[in-house]
Amino acid sequence: MRAPRLPALLATGIVLLTFLHPARALASEPSPSASSASVPPPYVVAVDPGHGGSYAGDLSIPWDPGVVAGSVMEKDLTLDLGLRLRELLRTERVRVVMTRTSDRFMTIADRWAVVAASGARMFVSLHVNAFDGDSSINGLTVLYPRAESLPFARTIEGGLSHALAPYQIEDDGVALKPELWVHAQIPTVTVEPAYLTNPREAALLQRPEFRQAVVQGILDGMLAADPRIEQDRRALEQAEALAAQRALALRARTSPTPGFQVWWLYAGAAVVFFLLIRERAATRMASSRFRTRPSRRLMRRRRTLDRRRTLSRRI
């Protein structure tokens, strides 16, 4: 049998010393089931920034700026309010379905299709108010399509009224408007936080901090309308904390302790040392066999020489 060569031995040693590493890395990966365990489904809210779309030079293409006061258009204010409300709701871990997130025209039917397919538990349509011919008309109002949405409208009105009190926005209360969103089976409101036709309120609507106060008031109303939003957020945070703990515990259990690693290192080194000793012994035996061959030849040569000497003596 041929003695193992040194490169083969070193390779064996390296394999012995490192074979544990990939196994350990695999074992310490947190399993997907641990992190997704008992996470509640997201609470869904639908948000509709009213109006939308710009004139593209073709009157046959529909567009709808809503109320226009100078260069200020309702469609831009409602989109800004919608995106701000989405940000706030996301901090509550709510999944927000928007009817639009850009300046585009949508029919009421288009919007309703989005809301109906969203699985939302509440729906807020965002607008700003207008009163042609009397710029002194002002205040906030919340519209609702049917009696079932009245409690929701009242809580949204309460949140808005409180949030906009520092801006001296009058609270005009809630009003039934049964021609819009009449098919809504979920709590539904149309929010009109201020009048774009009122100069003071138009100036306020152009201030980002006022628009932030509007969406904060709406969020406060939503949280008051359904405590499950905060319950779901807490449950989600608890489930995530638990999953993180499990992942940590799993990592601690599957990762060998430093002592264990050192033990494997010693075992690997011992195996390599043993194989090296065997290699040296085999090499020594082979070289000693090599040395006997010329001495045997030498012996034969000596014998031949002796015989020749004997023969020469006979002659």
Smallest gap from Cβ 235 to Zn ion, in A, equals 36
**In the bound complex, what is the minimum distance in angstroms from residue 127's beta carbon to Zn ion?**
3
CB 129 → Zn ion: shortest distance, Å?
8
- Which residue, 58 or 132, is less far from Zn ion as judged by CB? 132
Given a contact cutoff of 8 angstroms between Cβ atoms, the answer to whether 80 and 51 are in contact is no
Min separation Cβ 130 and Zn ion, Å: 8
Is residue 34 within 8 Å of residue 243, measured between CB atoms?
yes
Q: How far is CA 222 from CA 34, 75, 96, 139, 226, in A?
A: 32, 23, 13, 20, 6
Report the distance separating Cα 155 and Cα 171, nearest Å: 13
What is the amino acid identity at position 107?
A: T
Size of the site for Zn ion (CB under 5 A): 3
**Which residue, 52 or 66, has its beta carbon nearer to Zn ion?**
66
Residue 187 found at the interface with Zn ion (CB under 5 A): no
At CA 229, angle to CA 215 and CA 104, rounded to 5?
Answer: 45
Q: Which stretch binds Zn ion (CB under 5 A): 44-52, 114-122, 156-164, 250-258?
A: 44-52
Window 110 to 129, contacts with Zn ion (CB under 5 A): 127
Beta carbon nearer to Zn ion, 130 or 222: 130
What residues between 247 and 266 interact with Zn ion by CB under 5 A?
A: none
Q: Which is nearer to Zn ion, 108 or 270 (CB)?
A: 108
**Site residues (CB under 5 A) for Zn ion, limited to 212-241:** none
> 280 vs 2, 77, 276, 277, 287, CA distance in Å?
13, 86, 6, 5, 11
Residues 127-146 that bind Zn ion (CB under 5 A): 127
Strand 72-73 versus strand 94-98 pairing type: unpaired
Among 46, 49, 50, 213, binds Zn ion (CB under 5 A): 50
Query: Is there binding between residue 66 and Zn ion (CB under 5 A)?
Result: yes
Gap between the Cα atoms of 275 and 284, Å rounded: 14
In the complex with Zn ion, which residue's Cβ is closer, 66 or 139? 66
CB atoms within 10 A of CB 148: 13
Choices 33-41, 66-74, 205-213, 276-284; region in contact with Zn ion by CB under 5 A: 66-74
Residue 138: what are its φ and ψ, rounded to 5°? -150, 180
Distance CA 69, CA 78 (A): 14
- Residue whose C-beta lies closest to Zn ion: 127
CB of 203 to Zn ion, least distance (A): 19
Min CB(204)–Zn ion separation in Å? 17
Q: Whole-angstrom Cα distance, residue 308 to residue 207?
A: 126
Q: Binding segment for Zn ion among 33-41, 60-68, 93-101, 261-269 (CB under 5 A)?
A: 60-68
- Give contact residues for Zn ion (rule: CB under 5 A): 50, 66, 127
